[in-house]
Amino acid sequence: MAVRLELYRIFQEVAECKNFSTAAKNLYVSQSAVSQAMKQLEGELKVRLFNRGPRGVTLTADGEVLYEHVRSAMSMLESGESKLAQSLTLEAGKLTIGASETVTAQYLLPFLEQFHKLYPSIRLEVTVGRSQKILGELKNGKVDIAFVSINADDDTETLSIYPCFQTHTVFVAAPDYDCDFDHPYTLEELSRFPLILLERKANSRLQLEEFFLSHGLTLRPEIDLGSRYLLVALARIGLGVAGVTEEYVQSALRRGEIRMLKTDFAIPPRTLDMCILKAVAPSTAASRFTELVHAGKTEDSDEI
């Protein structure tokens, strides 16, 4: 393919110069090399591309057809090389980040803002979804960097993983909820409350169920939700006790909208991880974004 591409490059030059000698000078090769290249191309394609005359050459009908395609293809290659060069210098390009809505809003937003200020020519895109979806998008090449919570059974052999911070599951209720906020609740006592939890496909919910099962208890929540925001909203109006991520509800706790229940147990923490593919060299934009996250060169968000 590389040989054929070089033949096409010579063909385009001859077609535009209409002269083998002039094309040879422009390409810094001998006239005989240009002549041999065109004979080789005509032989491989089994068509005559040029009408040869004493004053130069002109394209045949077949040559005209080929020329239009070669010119378009070469133009696209040049455009691609130009865009690649711009991407390397962060003058153009795209960076796609994958994360949950909560992680994006409460952790990544300051990094996204800073990156955009530093590199305004890079188009930022955010793919929102739960960890399993985002991991799939990363492995399929649809996102450049994924921020997810890894499960023990996730296939991580193809990933480079960088921990960002730990998250902790706690239980909260409205300040006037019918419970004793000074009492350290056991798992069994807590399971008797009308519980408000994320839906089962959430990794944090699965971890919570496994923790309860390991102590001989089955979780039967009163309400299953797909939104972390609604966990706090429904707990705030007194519909039950919500299992939430402590790091993501700090504002609501500070405002006194909800209170944390004490427990005589601690659920093992989870980690939010930044992941990239091992086998794929990250783009310059992706490298710069991961550097920002590693360095933490941004003010802490309101929640983390």
- Calculate mean pLDDT across residues 127-139: 90
Residues 52 and 108 in one domain: no
Residues 78 and 20 in one domain: yes
Residue 302 lies in a domain: no
Higher-pLDDT residue of 67 and 2 is 67
| CATH classification at residue 101 | 3.40.190.10
pLDDT of residue 222: 94
| CATH classification at residue 41 | 1.10.10.10
Residues 129 and 260 in one domain: no
Domain holding 150, by residue range, is: 94-166+271-295
pLDDT of residue 304: 54
Residue 229 lies in a domain: yes
Residues 282 and 153 in one domain: yes
Residues 12 and 101 in one domain: no
Rounded to a whole number, what is the distance in angstroms from the first to the last CA of the chain?
53
Strand partners, 128: 99
Phi-psi region of 185 (alpha: psi -120 to 50; beta: other; left: phi over 0): beta
Rounded CA-CA distance 196/253 in Å is: 17
pLDDT (tens digit, 9 = 90+) per residue, 28-80? 999 999 999 999 999 999 999 999 888 889 999 999 999 999 988 887 787 66
Location of structure tokens 């130069």: 56
Distance of CA 299 to the CA centre of its chain: 23
Residues 106 and 224 in one domain: no
Rounded CA-CA distance 42/49 in Å is: 6
Residue 77 lies in a domain: yes
Q: How many domains does the chain have?
A: 3
Domain boundary among 88, 120, 151: 88
Residues 31 and 59 in one domain: yes
Residues 111 and 71 in one domain: no
Residue 4 CB neighbours (<10 A): 12
pTM for the full model? 0.68
- The structure tokens listed for 123 are 């188009």
Location of structure tokens 């921020």: 147
CB under 8 Å to 197, separation ≥6 — which residues? 205, 208, 219, 221, 223, 224, 225, 231, 242, 243
Residue 242 lies in a domain: yes
Residues 161 and 287 in one domain: yes
pLDDT of residue 204: 85
pLDDT of residue 302: 44
Task: Enumerate the H helices of the chain as residue ranges.
Answer: 2-17, 20-27, 31-45, 61-88, 101-103, 109-118, 131-139, 187-191, 203-214, 228-236, 250-254, 284-295
Percentage above 90 pLDDT, the chain: 67
